[in-house]
Amino acid sequence: MNIAVRAAIGVAAAVLALMAIVTAAVTAIFNQFTGAGLLEGLFGPSAVSATARSDIPPRMLALYQRAAPTCPGLDWSVLAAIGKVETDHGRHPTMVSSAGAVGPMQFLPSTFVLYAHPIPPGGKKPPTPWDPTDAVYAAARLLCANGARHGKDLYRAIYAYNHADWYVRKVRAQAKKYATTPTLPAGRPALKAIAYARAQIGLPYIWGGNGPAAGHAGFDCSGLTQAAYRAAGIRLPRVAEAQYHATPKVPRGQRLRPGDLVFYGRPGNIHHVGLYIGNGKMIDAPYTGARVRIEPYRKNDYWGATRPVRLSGR
């Protein structure tokens, strides 16, 4: 589907990307969970950077911003980045790829029909992948259907658009240029911990795993929560049982807050921990054969929650 030349990704670039992943994820946590309950009412979609204003034609910028909210949690900058990578926002001379993808968002006609309805305001009747309005709204629906809703799995959503790791990296890098980076409010290390954990989604569960920074391919449950809070400047013990006993308990019946640790089992046999992110969901490394993911925190053996940090202003 892609018209642009495949980017060369060297070892040095990969190292820089790893070093920057937490910073990028901080931006993503604000953008991708808008409307999902995590930061609802605090932050909206990312603002438009000077780079975006100078590079994106005004009509296309408005389209990206109008279409993105049709997928709750999808930031307009992701749509804009795809439009840039695919056809430079419709400025490519033919907008036809060697694979037969057409139009400003590079849809195969057979794929476009799956996401063409309902016809958006200002769209063509019948809809067509050549029309910018139809194409951008269809792109938002495609991303939403593949994991972008509430930021559940943005990597998978972008990968579904063009099945290549380099493509996902390129789109994410472009989106970062288009969106201004919000400043974390003072005293909110919990948000930094969540941002770190979100950046690990998709990594495999590895028993005893402490993540790529420790030379491991993935995490186990307490390795993930320990690393997430380490990124926020908070030290936690290594295993779930120890983390439960070392952190202040959330009284039963009290509403959980983003950043709380949620535990499973019973004291003396706390066997699992996750990081609560709001809206009844947590990020966790669940078990062998699974990957770091977002899932409901309520399970049969849920025991309780603790609060490693006091969230100022909450």
**What's the chain's average pLDDT?**
84
Tokens for 172? 């994410």
Report pLDDT digits (tens) over 202-259.
Answer: 999 999 999 998 999 999 999 999 999 999 999 999 999 999 999 999 998 888 999 9
Tokens for 228? 């997430």
Please compute the mean of the pLDDT values over residues 143-157 and round it to a whole number: 88
Please compute the mean of the pLDDT values over residues 302-313 and round it to a whole number: 75
Which of 91-105, 149-163, 173-187 reaches the highest mean pLDDT?
91-105
Collapsing DSSP to helix, strand or coil, 293 comes out as: strand
pLDDT tier for residue 73 given thresholds of 50, 70 and 90: confident
Please compute the mean of the pLDDT values over residues 298-303 and round it to a whole number: 94
Q: What whole-number distance in Å separates Cα of residue 239 and Cα of residue 282?
A: 18
Q: What whole-number distance in Å separates Cα of residue 221 and Cα of residue 228?
A: 11
In this predicted model, which residue has the larger pLDDT, 271 or 13?
A: 271
Residue 87 has pLDDT above 70, yes or no: yes
pTM, two decimals, is 0.51
Q: Please report the pLDDT score of residue 2 as a whole number.
A: 53
Q: What whole-number distance in Å separates Cα of residue 266 and Cα of residue 263?
A: 8
Please compute the mean of the pLDDT values over residues 9-21 and round it to a whole number: 39
Backbone angles phi, psi at 50, to 5 degrees: -60, -35
Report pLDDT digits (tens) over 96-124.
Answer: 999 999 999 999 999 999 999 999 999 99
Q: What whole-number distance in Å separates Cα of residue 256 and Cα of residue 277?
A: 9
Please compute the mean of the pLDDT values over residues 134-158 and round it to a whole number: 92
CA distances from 275 to 152, 174, 247, 254 (A): 14, 29, 13, 17
In this predicted model, which residue has the larger pLDDT, 174 or 1?
A: 174
Q: Please report the pLDDT score of residue 1 as a whole number.
A: 53
Residue 180 has pLDDT above 80, yes or no: no
pLDDT tier for residue 45 given thresholds of 50, 70 and 90: low
CA distances from 90 to 83, 96, 136, 294 (A): 7, 11, 11, 35
Nearest of 264, 266, 270, 271 to residue 296 by alpha carbon: 264
In this predicted model, which residue has the larger pLDDT, 73 or 160?
A: 160
Residues with Cβ within 8 Å of residue 74, at least 6 apart in sequence: 32, 68, 140, 143, 144, 148, 149, 151
Please compute the mean of the pLDDT values over residues 251-272 and round it to a whole number: 94
pLDDT tier for residue 41 given thresholds of 50, 70 and 90: very low
Strands (E), the chain: 261-266, 269-278, 281-284, 293-296, 302-306
In this predicted model, which residue has the larger pLDDT, 8 or 245?
A: 245
Residue 268 has pLDDT above 70, yes or no: yes
Lowest mean pLDDT among 13-27, 129-143, 219-233: 13-27
Nearest of 74, 144, 76, 136 to residue 106 by alpha carbon: 136
